[in-house]
Structure 1
């Protein structure tokens, strides 16, 4: 019988308290250090009157005390409301006010902003401070008072995470991720990349995981907790950098890491020696499309399999992906696919208007049934997809991204592919903005390759017209120094859209 997530966390903490558990910037912290920090947090939460199911707001950064905080909120069966610390202080303060929580946990670096203190005072919230020096510290800031306001956010006894979606296409939204779904995703079904026996066996692992994805994103939270329940130490990268990933690879020789396509491109651009990646059996990737050209270039140079995957916050993780075995058999034939449905998951493609199930090799809206979300009903996504005769899934864009220009339908990904084929363009993003005459028009932001200092936008439009129909060509193109990105390193289409909108019309 599978132990509960709470039991598993406690079992792991008791295995070898003095052993190394978390590494951050070259400093190790033990499992006992984590337990001590968790106990400090629990004492603060109890004094504030928080019971099982109460919601705790946390500004999550990739730091050791933040991992301990995540573990304790889950181990006490409370609900963690993720707050994105990479926003402006004004936006963070707005989140705190809107959530209206009894307790908000912040890093010391975030608490330098007076806006956060003002928001906590307005909400009657108790502020707890996390920081890491020689120890993992969690203490109350305004400890002279307990939470004082009324009508706090109601308890969510069956919810593990009040999770922010990525905010790729619009303002981030919150969804309730049930304990049952998160636990099953972590423990109930064998992963693509490790055996059932490895998941079940409770022993400390010698090779650490490397956390590169932000904890505030479901991918980072899942990666951190997956390492914990496997009793695997974690090397924490506060944010991705080529220098830090090289240090982690050379020092700790992990066999598997997870990196988004943007990070793969950065490794290639930095010309990292292939010898430094020799320890890797594979790299899991996802969160954004993996261009086949990038996969070819990376795998040809480093001889490391890239295992793409598809998932969403709503599914508590991936629902389709590549295994190493699949990669050996089908990597070249199925380039561009995000893999096969995982065990316990079914996928299909339907007509958006009629709901009719479409045959293989036909583009439609993707629907999923996954045991991870505890439902036998089909869940419709916003992704356009195609499933081939062998069951391999291809994501063709987002249904809600489609731009209708004077009655003509434009899929932004089609335009992006052509833009990126231009010799001077490294990244591109195409979005639709309102137009009084045509309803919507496409616009594009482009980022140039390193070393390219200028580009003739009229020449770019001529280039596009030679490869696209006229209505697909963006009405306006802006050059940006760096593409705006979400914490998970996806291009933020919402931010790109705002580059073209007047302040009065922004979301």
Structure 2
């Protein structure tokens, strides 16, 4: 990357390279025309790999679009609540071609969480899996349809062919503009209740394209991932990173280290997108030495800090380079990224430089003023990547977007003279576990309803495998019998997705607070890390009973 010397913590956007003014449907049509026989998408399972040429992918997307338009109209919001699958991807393309807004729902969500997303988005239909882990998704959807009058249709993805048969072959597909909304993805922002970020075609296509280019992903290359499709990093960053380079996107539905090693060898994967936890498991798996991984050239990672030892080990043992990404749903994906040519120190201590065509500054959170180099402040970003606000919430009303278009990320960082950003903390106080954002307020609200809990604060604590894990610090109600932490765990687990349930539990006599009575979470984290607070004995159950 070119040498740059900044005089303040401000990165200008520039006007190069040019943006692709395309919708997702137009991108797929272009690829089907220019490289019809190239494999554009593959779903790889141990027992079978399904493949689609770009020409076939377009035809499947068009059929899905016509079937959707038999029940919905352009602009309608339709949810998908299912784990990774080929059908999820085909639905995504069908919705994009039909001008229908896809509302992505984490498959780990339980009934109350799904209900909130459906109500908040005004979804008029839902596609779902029959079940996921111990959750009977079909039964939950039946109950939710009875509770939500606007939720007119539901479809089981297991009967995908039956759904496609509903198409009207004579249906004319609408014109979809690049700046139209393509998806609504729910993220908690600064509050405990998730809000629907409205992503647009222009944003997800170009952010993914520029991330692939900085990663040195080759034209026509093979890109594999098990990243969740409900997240912008999976459905956009990985899939569209491959597509904008006329490459092959290989999806592993559920991450398994041994099977990912098979995929890398079998599909001649050149680029792997994986959170640090996945990289660790691949490196440590006994099958690694028996697989030919010579095709692998680049690892893309992010979502939580990468230890220097992990980067060095991956570079030496896998003989590949790293690119570290930093992004946000509200910014349609990656907004800062390291280059594979960067030093190990920059790969592990920074999140790289801003992406092309994005204006970034380190700002005083109160005034928005640009701060001096190397001084921590909030990351603000402006440009084509900024979302179209939160659904049903006027742009800027919650303070996330300023009147002049700056999006406040809530992340604290500093910028050096070369334009590299270093994360210093988070204003939004979220916990990042294995690349998954967890928002303490939601867990605190659940625990606060337990009769034995007088006061609770949920914080993230460092963990060598997950980056951070969820810890609950509780002041007990003296009028109620002291609860067992196993009981508290199952209390959370019955109401929240499994990854949100605390795995470390602490009881405290008095919470550290400010003069105004607000709990000082940083003080709790310091006490935990310095062993000033001792955790209660707890072993996470290997099998979780059905809620």
**Could you state the TM-score of these two structures normalised by the residue count of structure 2?**
0.66
- How far, CA to CA, are the matches of 1:127 and 1:351 in structure 2? 47
Is the Cα contact below 8 Å between 1:429 and 1:445 reproduced in 2?
A: no
Superposed CA deviations along residues 363-384 of structure 1, whole A, max 9, x for unmatched, are 2222223332389743222111
What residue number does 2:27 align with?
Answer: 8
| 8 Å contact kept, 1:337–1:394 | yes
1:85 aligned onto 2:151: no
Secondary structure at the aligned position of 1:368 is classed as strand
- Is 1:331 paired with 2:356? no
Give the equivalent residue in structure 1 for 2:314.
Answer: 298
Q: Against the structure 1 CA distance between its residues 309 and 164, is the aligned structure 2 distance closer, same or farther, given a 3 Å change threshold?
A: same
What is aligned with 2:258?
Answer: 243
Change (3 A) 1:170 1:24: farther
Residue 395 (str. 1) matches residue 423 (str. 2): yes
Pair 355,168 (structure 1): closer, same or farther in 2 beyond 3 Å: closer
Cα offset, 1:273, TM superposition: 2.8
Q: 2:530 aligns with which of 432, 454, 464?
A: 464
Shift, 1:310, TM fit: 1.0
The CA distance in 2 between the partners of 1:107 and 1:352, in whole Å, is 42
5 Å matches for 1:96-107?
96-107=118-129
Q: For 2:97 and 2:201, how far apart are their aligned partners in 1?
A: 11
**1:73 CA displacement:** 0.9
CA drift of 1:78 comes to: 2.1
Instruction: Report the equivalent of 1:455.
Output: none
Where do 1:78-477 residues align within 5 Å?
Answer: 78-109=100-131, 113-121=138-146, 122-123=148-149, 124-131=151-158, 137=161, 139=163, 158-165=180-187, 170-187=192-209, 191-194=213-216, 198=219, 205=220, 207-222=221-236, 223-271=238-286, 272-273=288-289, 276-325=292-341, 327=342, 330-332=343-345, 335-373=348-386, 377-401=405-429, 416=462, 428-429=469-470, 438=513, 439-440=518-519, 442=521, 464=530, 473-474=532-533, 476=535
- Give the whole-Å Cα distance in 2 for the aligned partners of 1:445 and 1:274: 46
Query: Using a 3 Å threshold, how does the CA distance of structure 1 residues 162 and 313 change in structure 2: closer, same or farther?
Result: same
- Give, in whole Å, the separation in 1 of the partners of 2:76 and 2:111: 25
SS of the aligned residue for 1:120 comes to: helix
Tell me the CA shift for residue 80 of structure 1. Answer: 1.0
Q: How big is each residue's C-alpha offset from its partner over 1:92-111, in whole Å with a ceiling of 9 and x where there is no partner?
A: 34533444432222234467
Q: SS of the residue aligned with 1:128?
A: strand
Against the structure 1 CA distance between its residues 464 and 112, is the aligned structure 2 distance closer, same or farther, given a 3 Å change threshold? closer
State the distance in 1 between where 2:332 and 2:129 align.
26
CA shift, 1:362, in A, is 1.8
Change (3 A) 1:371 1:3: closer
Instruction: Give the distance between the partners of 2:524 and 2:252, measured in 1 at CA.
Output: 29
- Separation in 1, partners of 2:103, 2:117: 10
What root-mean-square deviation, in Å, do the aligned CA atoms of Structure 1 and Structure 2 show? Answer: 4.1
Determine if contact 1:341/1:347 at 8 Å carries over to the other structure.
Answer: yes
1:289 Cα offset (Å): 1.9
For residues 22 and 425 of structure 1, what CA distance do their matches in structure 2 show?
A: 28
Aligned equivalents of 1:214, 1:47: Cα separation in 2: 28
Are 2:362 and 2:371, in contact at CA under 8 Å, matched by a contact in 1? yes
- 1:30 Cα shift? 2.5
CA distance in 1, matches of 2:144, 2:420: 48
Structure 2 CA distance for partners of 1:27 and 1:431, relative to 1, 3 Å = same
Structure with larger RCO (C-alpha < 8 A, sep 6+): 2
Give the equivalent residue in structure 1 for 2:14.
none
* 1:290-330 alpha-carbon deviations (Å, 9 max, x no partner): 233432343343332221111111111111111123x2xx3
Match of 1:346, SS state, is: strand
Is the alpha carbon distance of 1:462 and 1:17 closer, same or farther for their aligned partners in structure 2, counting shifts above 3 Å?
closer
| CA shift in 2, pair 1:426/1:117, >3 Å | closer
Distance in 2 between the 1:476 and 1:89 partners? 30
Structure 1 residue 7, shift from structure 2 partner: 1.9
8 Å CA contact 2:205, 2:240 repeated in 1: no
Shift in Å at residue 266 of structure 1?
1.7
Q: Deviations over 1:313-369 (max 9, x none)?
A: 1111111111123x2xx3336641111122222332233344443222222222223
CA distance in 2, matches of 1:82, 1:369: 25
Q: 1:96 to 1:364 in 2, by over 3 A?
A: closer
Give distance in 1, aligned partners of 2:297 and 2:331: 27
Task: Look up the match of 2:68.
Answer: 45
Distance 1:261 1:190 in 2: 19
Distance 1:239 1:192, change over 3 A: same
SS of the residue corresponding to residue 210 of structure 1 reads strand
| Mapped partners of 1:444, 1:277: distance in 2 | 45
